[in-house]
Amino acid sequence: MIDFVLQPTQEGELRRRVLFWLPAPLPVLGVVYLVVGGALSAAGWTILLAASVGVGTLLLALIVQPTPLPEGLVPQVSARRSLHRFRQFTGLRIALALVPVAIGAAASVVGGGMYPLLASLLLAWPQLLLAMPTFFTITRARRAMEAWGTTAYLWHALSRPAKVTWPIVTPLVNSWKAARVERSRESMRQKLEERAWKKAVREESSGAPDGAAPAAASADERTRPIRPLDTPSDERTDVLPHLGSPSHGSEEPTDVLPHLEAERTGREKPTDVLPHLPSGQEVEPTRQLPHLGGAGTGEEGSEPGPGSGAAADGDPDPDAPAGPRSSVHRAARQFFEQGGGALGIAVRRSRRAAPSTRRPHSNKP
């Protein structure tokens, strides 16, 4: 019997659905009995109402059959559609069987007796048995589907495998299992976060994780000041290393401020930006300004002699004119001495002769 009920096929699934709703009227019977106080007699119209609803649903369950399948269906489509329509037909019969139960319970409460509910139960349980997928029920449904000539592969569709499920119970169990798994994942996530937080607090309290010296401050706050409070003057830092120590309040030159040496020595030193500043407060000629006087002149605006410009440039030319235009004259003289170039370019005559006026001979035969 258990194997017959728990059969893992489409037919077994429909059978379990009907068996689940078969004892459903019993809880309704117990609740109505407590409400009416166990009395059986009730108003006549309530009994007639419950009985008429039960008879009407029973006639519908006996007469109504699945609709015929359309013509021209392949076997696979025919089996799928026939199974879908038979499932709908079974659900309709279950609903028609539960309607008289609900109407009879309401009529019993209104009439004050149990007779309306008992009459509806006598007509509802046979309908549940008619909804059971038996040989007689399946055969009648298959013949109704084949009314238009299309073969309904209903037996083949009902024999297909299916999971063992129960209405209402299986969805509730699946949702409860999913909620339990989610709660376990959330608790595990909280445990991992708490473990990571404890590890971070332990590392902070014991010291840096890279092997540095342990800090004297606590894990929550640091009480050691960043700079000593009793130092009267500024201290040296990585950004400003020229700040003097308390022993000497003078500043030292750095890569950023190399001219601070003048405050102590009284003179400036040459740098990469200003290489013309000598140690003796004199101006010397450079590559950019070759016309400045040498160390012997001592004047910034004096012009060099006849041999100074040539000596500075490395060209010992005694005929070079003196003055700041000596470089210009020397460049012009070199240009004329080279010869050729733009002045030696000759106009070349074209090698082509005068265009011919003769007509070329034709190669056609």
* pLDDT tier at 14, thresholds 50, 70, 90: very high
User: What mean pLDDT comes out for the span 319-326?
Assistant: 53
Q: Between 154 and 307, whose confidence is greater? A: 154
Q: What is the pTM of this model?
A: 0.50
Residue 161 φ/ψ, nearest 5 degrees = -70, 150
- pLDDT tens digit sequence for 182-213: 999 999 999 999 989 998 998 888 865 454 44
* pLDDT tier at 286, thresholds 50, 70, 90: low
Q: Between 112 and 247, whose confidence is greater? A: 112
- pLDDT tens digit sequence for 118-142: 999 999 999 998 999 999 999 999 9
User: What mean pLDDT comes out for the span 286-305?
Assistant: 51
Q: Which pLDDT score is estimated for 295?
A: 43
3-state helix, strand, coil in the chain (%, to 5): 50, 0, 50
* pLDDT tier at 179, thresholds 50, 70, 90: very high
User: What mean pLDDT comes out for the span 206-228?
Assistant: 50
For the record, the structure tokens of 138 come out as: 């399946």
Residue 297 has pLDDT above 50, yes or no: no
Rg (CA), the chain: 57
Q: Between 147 and 338, whose confidence is greater? A: 147
Question: What percent of the chain shows pLDDT beyond 90?
Answer: 38
* pLDDT tier at 220, thresholds 50, 70, 90: very low
Supply the mean pLDDT for the chain.
Answer: 75
Q: Poorest-confidence range of 69-73, 149-153, 230-234, 237-241? A: 230-234
Given a contact cutoff of 8 angstroms between Cβ atoms, the answer to whether 89 and 66 are in contact is yes
Q: Which pLDDT score is estimated for 142?
A: 93
* pLDDT tier at 335, thresholds 50, 70, 90: low
